[in-house]
Amino acid sequence: MMNEKVRELLNQQINKEFYSAYLYLDFSNYFEAAGLDGFANWYKIQAQEERDHAMLFYQYLQNENQKVTLEAIAKPDKVFACHLDVLKAGLTHEEYVTSLINEIYAAAYEARDFRTMQFLDWFVKEQGEEETNAHDLITKM
């Protein structure tokens, strides 16, 4: 039986991953309007990755016979003054997602939920790569 807090955090992460997809589509729109097709394409691909991540959490909960609860996805609402602000917001967001993954991992560790910890191992590694990529985009800009 999965710990209630772990289940709740995993469910919340589905929503956070879908929000990330919305956010990155918004970034893609921003760069498309600015004529920066490469950056626009990068964020469009990132949006798809975030949707895939949401579905991994969704499938994991289903595989564990846990109830999946879908909530409304917030609308991205930031207005950016310059291109660099978008990229910095991307890095900040990836750092936030890392903190969420770490929070779930800590709850799973506390509950001795080794299966969930093993599931999260890939996300821990992925977030390291995402933060590196976000730093690289800032450098490129």
In the structure, what pLDDT confidence band is assigned to residue 139 with cuts at 50, 70 and 90? very high
List pLDDT tens digits, range 104-136.
999 999 999 999 999 999 999 999 999 999 999
Contact 117, 108 (CB under 8 A): yes
**What integer pLDDT is reported at residue 76 of this predicted model?**
94
**What integer pLDDT is reported at residue 1 of this predicted model?**
85
Q: What are the boundaries of each domain within the chain?
A: 4-140
CA dihedral 101, 21, 83, 81 (to 10 degrees): -90
CATH superfamily of 4-140: Ferritin, core subunit, four-helix bundle (1.20.1260.10)
Host H or E run for residue 63: helix 37-63
**What integer pLDDT is reported at residue 35 of this predicted model?**
97
Percent of the chain clearing pLDDT 90 (strictly above): 96
Q: How far apart are CA 125 and CA 14, in angstroms?
A: 18
Q: How far apart are CA 31 and CA 38, in angstroms?
A: 8
